[in-house]
Amino acid sequence: MRFLQNKQEFDQLLSSSRGQLVVIDFTASWCGPCQSIAPVFEQLSNEFSHVTFVKVDVDANRETAASCQIKAMPTFQFYKDGHMIHSLTGANPSALREAVIKFQGDKWAIAGEGHRLSNAPQSASNASQSASNAQLSEREKRLAAIEARFAKSS
- Residue positions annotated with a catalytic role: 31, 34
Which is it for strands 52-57 and 22-27: parallel, antiparallel or unpaired? parallel
Beta-carbon count within 10 A of 127 CB: 11
Gap between the Cα atoms of 41 and 30, Å rounded:
17
Gap between the Cα atoms of 30 and 15, Å rounded:
30
Peptide bond into 33 cis (omega under 30): no
144 Cβ contact list (under 8 Å, min separation 6) = 133, 136
Gap between the Cα atoms of 85 and 99, Å rounded:
10
Name the helix (H) or strand (E) containing 119. none
